[in-house]
Chain A
Amino acid sequence: MEHYNMNLTLKVWKQKNNKDKGRFETYKVKDISSEMSFLEMFDVLNEQLIAEGKEPVAFDHDCREGICGMCSMHIDGRAHGPWHETTTCQLHMRQYKDGDTIVVEPWRANAFPVIKDLVTDRTSFDRIIQAGGYISVNTGNAVDANSLPIEKQKADEAFAAAACIGCGACAAACPNASAMLFVSAKVSHLALLPQGDPERKMRAMNMVNQMDKEGFGSCTNIGACEAECPKGISLENIARLNREYLGAVFSGSSNE
Chain B
Amino acid sequence: MPLNSKIPAGELNKKWEDYKSSCKLVNPANKRSLEILVIGTGLAGASAAAALGELGYKVKTFCFQDSPRRAHSIAAQGGINAAKNYQNDGDSVHRLFYDTIKGGDYRAREGNVHRLAEVSANIIDQCVAQGVPFAREYGGLLSNRSFGGTQVQRTFYAAGQTGQQLLIGAYQALERQIALGNVTQYSRHEMLELVTIDGKARGIIARDLVSGKLERFFGHAVLLCTGGYGNVFYLSTNAMGCNVTAAWKAHKKGAFFGNPCYTQIHPTCIPVSGDHQSKLTLMSESLRNDGRIWVPKAQNDTRKPGDIPEEERDYYLERRYPAFGNLVPRDVASRAAKERCDAGYGVGASKMAVYLDYAAAIERYGKIEVGKQGIANASKETITQLGKDVVKEKYGNLFDMYAKITGENPYEVPMRIYPAVHYTMGGIWVDYELMTTVPGLYALGEANFSDHGANRLGASALMQGLADGYFVIPYTLGNYLADDIRTKSIPTDHPAFAEAEKSVSDRINKLMNIKGKESVESFHKRLGKIMWDKCGMARNAEGLKQAITEIQALRKEFWSNVFIPGDVDEFNPELDKAGRVADFLELGELMCHDALNRNESCGGHFREEYQTEEGEALRQDDGYMYVAAWEYKGESQFELHKEELIYDVVHPSARSYK
Measured in the bound complex, the distance between the Cα atoms of B290 and A133 in whole Å is 36
| Chain B residue contacts of A50, Cβ below 8 A | 519, 521, 563, 565, 574
| Nearest chain A CB to B101 CB, angstrom units | 25
Specify the chain B residue showing the minimal Cβ separation from A148.
B128
Task: Find A149's partner among B127, B139, B158, B277 (CB 8 Å cutoff).
Answer: B139
Q: Is the CB of B84 within 8 A of A62?
A: no
| Nearest chain B CB to A46 CB, angstrom units | 8
B302 within 8 A of A: no
Measured in the bound complex, the distance between the Cα atoms of B176 and A130 in whole Å is 6
Q: How would residues 131 to 171 of chain A score, 1 for a CB under 8 Å from any chain B CB and 0 otherwise?
A: 10111111110111110111110011011001101100000
A142 and B125 in contact, given A50-B563, A62-B241, A63-B72 (Cβ under 8 angstroms): yes
Q: Is the CB of B279 within 8 A of A64?
A: yes
Measured in the bound complex, the distance between the Cα atoms of B580 and A145 in whole Å is 41
B90 within 8 A of A: no
| Nearest chain A CB to B397 CB, angstrom units | 9
A126 and B75 in contact, given A136-B176, A137-B130, A145-B124 (Cβ under 8 angstroms): no
| Nearest chain B CB to A26 CB, angstrom units | 19
B276 within 8 A of A: yes
A69 and B176 in contact, given A33-B274, A159-B133 (Cβ under 8 angstroms): no
Measured in the bound complex, the distance between the Cα atoms of B240 and A159 in whole Å is 27
Task: Find B75's partner among A16, A67, A86, A162 (CB 8 Å cutoff).
Answer: A67
Within 8 A of B (CB), among A1-45: 1, 16-17, 33, 35-37, 39-40, 43-44
Q: Is the CB of A67 within 8 A of B164?
A: yes
Q: Is the CB of B141 within 8 A of A68?
A: no
Q: Is the CB of A68 within 8 A of B65?
A: yes
Specify the chain B residue showing the minimal Cβ separation from A16.
B570
A145 and B142 in contact, given A122-B67, A155-B133 (Cβ under 8 angstroms): yes
Specify the chain B residue showing the minimal Cβ separation from A61.
B240
Binds B, one of A173-181, A190-198, A214-222, A236-244: A190-198
Q: Is the CB of B125 within 8 A of A144?
A: yes
Measured in the bound complex, the distance between the Cα atoms of B138 and A151 in whole Å is 7
| Nearest chain B CB to A143 CB, angstrom units | 6
Q: Is the CB of A17 within 8 A of B571?
A: yes
| Chain A residue contacts of B54, Cβ below 8 A | 138-139
Within 8 A of A (CB), among B472-521: 474, 519, 521
Specify the chain A residue showing the minimal Cβ separation from B270.
A65
Measured in the bound complex, the distance between the Cα atoms of B400 and A66 in whole Å is 11
A62 and B240 in contact, given A90-B404, A115-B210, A138-B54 (Cβ under 8 angstroms): yes
| Chain B residue contacts of A125, Cβ below 8 A | 67
Number of A-B contacts (CB under 8 A): 221
| Chain B residue contacts of A63, Cβ below 8 A | 70, 72, 74-75, 239-240
Q: Is the CB of A134 within 8 A of B176?
A: yes
B259 within 8 A of A: no
Binds A, one of B165-173, B311-319, B646-654: B165-173
Within 8 A of A (CB), among B398-415: 401, 404-408
Measured in the bound complex, the distance between the Cα atoms of B277 and A39 in whole Å is 10
A62 and B239 in contact, given A70-B70, A92-B404, A119-B571 (Cβ under 8 angstroms): yes
Q: Is the CB of B140 within 8 A of A162?
A: no
Measured in the bound complex, the distance between the Cα atoms of B173 and A130 in whole Å is 9
A139 and B125 in contact, given A62-B239, A116-B570 (Cβ under 8 angstroms): no
| Nearest chain A CB to B80 CB, angstrom units | 12
| Chain B residue contacts of A122, Cβ below 8 A | 66-67
| Nearest chain B CB to A200 CB, angstrom units | 11
User: What is the total number of residues of chain A having a CB less than 8 Å from a CB of chain B?
Assistant: 78
| Chain B residue contacts of A69, Cβ below 8 A | 69-70
Task: Find A193's partner among B133, B137, B278, B406 (CB 8 Å cutoff).
Answer: B133
A121 within 8 A of B: yes
| Nearest chain A CB to B279 CB, angstrom units | 5
Specify the chain B residue showing the minimal Cβ separation from A52.
B565
| Chain A residue contacts of B126, Cβ below 8 A | 137, 139-140, 142
| Nearest chain A CB to B389 CB, angstrom units | 15
Measured in the bound complex, the distance between the Cα atoms of B165 and A155 in whole Å is 13
Task: Find B405's partner among A33, A43, A90, A151 (CB 8 Å cutoff).
Answer: A90
| Chain B residue contacts of A92, Cβ below 8 A | 404-405, 407
A102 within 8 A of B: no
Specify the chain B residue showing the minimal Cβ separation from A36.
B276
B371 within 8 A of A: no
A58 within 8 A of B: yes
Specify the chain A residue showing the minimal Cβ separation from B173.
A134
Measured in the bound complex, the distance between the Cα atoms of B128 and A182 in whole Å is 22
Within 8 A of A (CB), among B296-338: none
Measured in the bound complex, the distance between the Cα atoms of B70 and A60 in whole Å is 11
A129 and B175 in contact, given A62-B241, A116-B570, A196-B131 (Cβ under 8 angstroms): yes
Task: Find B70's partner among A56, A68, A90, A140 (CB 8 Å cutoff).
Answer: A68
Specify the chain B residue showing the minimal Cβ separation from A90.
B404
A83 within 8 A of B: yes
Task: Find B276's partner among A40, A58, A119 (CB 8 Å cutoff).
Answer: A40
Within 8 A of B (CB), among A104-120: 115-116, 119
B566 within 8 A of A: yes
Measured in the bound complex, the distance between the Cα atoms of B373 and A253 in whole Å is 48
| Chain B residue contacts of A189, Cβ below 8 A | 131, 133
Measured in the bound complex, the distance between the Cα atoms of B75 and A151 in whole Å is 27
Measured in the bound complex, the distance between the Cα atoms of B171 and A133 in whole Å is 10
Q: How would residues 53 to 73 of chain B score, 1 for a CB under 8 Å from any chain A CB and 0 otherwise?
A: 010000000000111111010
| Chain A residue contacts of B566, Cβ below 8 A | 55
Measured in the bound complex, the distance between the Cα atoms of B323 and A191 in whole Å is 45
Q: Is the CB of A54 within 8 A of B407?
A: no
Q: Is the CB of A62 within 8 A of B519?
A: no
Q: Is the CB of B401 within 8 A of A90?
A: yes
Within 8 A of A (CB), among B97-154: 122, 124-131, 133-142
Q: Is the CB of A163 within 8 A of B161?
A: yes
| Nearest chain B CB to A51 CB, angstrom units | 7
| Chain B residue contacts of A162, Cβ below 8 A | 131, 133, 158, 165, 168
Nearest 8 A/B pairs, CB to CB: A149-B140, A134-B172, A142-B129, A142-B125, A159-B133, A1-B407, A145-B128, A130-B179
Task: Known A-B contacts: A40-B278, A62-B241, A145-B84. Give 15 more (CB < 8 A).
Answer: A35-B273, A47-B521, A53-B565, A56-B565, A58-B573, A70-B65, A86-B404, A92-B404, A139-B126, A155-B133, A158-B131, A159-B165, A163-B161, A189-B131, A190-B131
Q: Give me 12 A-to-B residue pairs in the complex whose CB atoms sit less than 8 angstroms apart, sorted by A's number.
A: A50-B521, A56-B574, A126-B69, A126-B178, A126-B185, A134-B172, A139-B54, A145-B128, A152-B140, A156-B136, A159-B135, A193-B131
Q: Which residues of B contact A (CB under 8 A)?
A: 47, 50-51, 54, 65-70, 72, 74-75, 84, 86, 122, 124-131, 133-142, 158-159, 161, 164-165, 168, 171-173, 175-176, 178-179, 185, 187, 210, 237, 239-241, 273-274, 276-279, 281-282, 401, 404-408, 470-471, 474, 519, 521-522, 563, 565-566, 570-571, 573-574
